[in-house]
Amino acid sequence: LVIEFEKSVSRRHMRNLIIVMAATALCGCAAQVQTKVTAFHELDQPLTGKTFIFIPTKEQEGSLEYRSYAKTVQSELEKRGMTLVPFNQATYGVFMFYGIDDGKEIISTYPIFGQTGTSGAYTSGSVTTYGNTASVNATTYKTPTYGVVGSGTSSDTVFKRYLNIDIVDIKKSTNEKIDKVYEGKAISSGSSGTLSVVMPAMIRSVFDEFPGKSGATKDIIKNLE
C-alpha cells in the first residue's frame, strides 16, 4: 500500500511538472529574431516627400529573392513618407547586400529533472481494542521531492545572417565619388538556416526608429511573421 501510494504521488507530481514545463514552452509564443543593428547616417529630416530608387547589383538583377526583400524595404520607407520613383526622378539610391553562413555546431548541456528523495512522512491509521489488548492498523505516507538528478548534452547548428542597407544621394554622387547618406548593418544568429524566413524581421529591425542616432548600436527583437 505504501509503495503504491508513493508511485501515485510520484506520477502526479511528475505530471504536474510536465504540465508546467509545457506551459512555459508555450508561453514563448511566436518565434523571435534578435538583431544587432548599427547605423551611420547624414539623412536630411524629415523624410516625408523624399524619393528613392533601388539599385541592384548584377547578381541581384532578375532575382525573385531580391525583389521580395526590396518590397519589404520599400514598405518601410513608404511608411516614413518616402516615394519610389523612376531613376531620373529619385533623390536617393538604395543598395542591399545580404547573406548567411554555413552554420556552426554548438554543443550545450541541459539539466535532467527527477525524484531526488522525500521531504517528509506521516502515518495514518486506526487503533482497535479488544478488552485489555489493542491492535494498530496504520500506513506511512512519504512525500517525494524533485530536482536536478543529472545532465545531458545537445548539439545545435547556429547560423549567422547579415543585412547591409546603404543609401546614396544620387544627385550629389559622381563616377569618382559616391555620396553615401545612410549605412546600416544588421547581424543576427539563430537556428534557422533559411534566410528568407528571418529576413523580414531583420529588415523591420533596421527600420526600428529609422534612421535613429548616427553611430548607435541596438539589439532589437522582432517576431517572425
Higher pLDDT, 123 or 88: 88
Q: Look at residue 134 in the predicted model and tell me its pLDDT.
A: 63
Q: How confident is the model at residue 220 (pLDDT cuts 50, 70, 90)?
A: very high
Q: Residue 173 and residue 94: Cα distance in Å, rounded?
A: 13
DSSP E strand stretches across the chain: 32-41, 51-54, 83-84, 92-100, 104-130, 133-169, 180-190, 216-223
Q: Which of 109-113, 170-174, 216-220 has the lowest mean pLDDT?
A: 109-113
Higher pLDDT, 204 or 115: 204
- Which residues 6+ apart lie within 8 Å of 130 measured at CB? none
Cα 35 to Cα 148, 188, 194, 213, 223: the distances in Å are: 33, 5, 16, 17, 11
Q: Residue 4 and residue 17: Cα distance in Å, rounded?
A: 20
Q: What average pLDDT does the segment 22-37 reach? A: 69
Q: Residue 69 and residue 200: Cα distance in Å, rounded?
A: 7
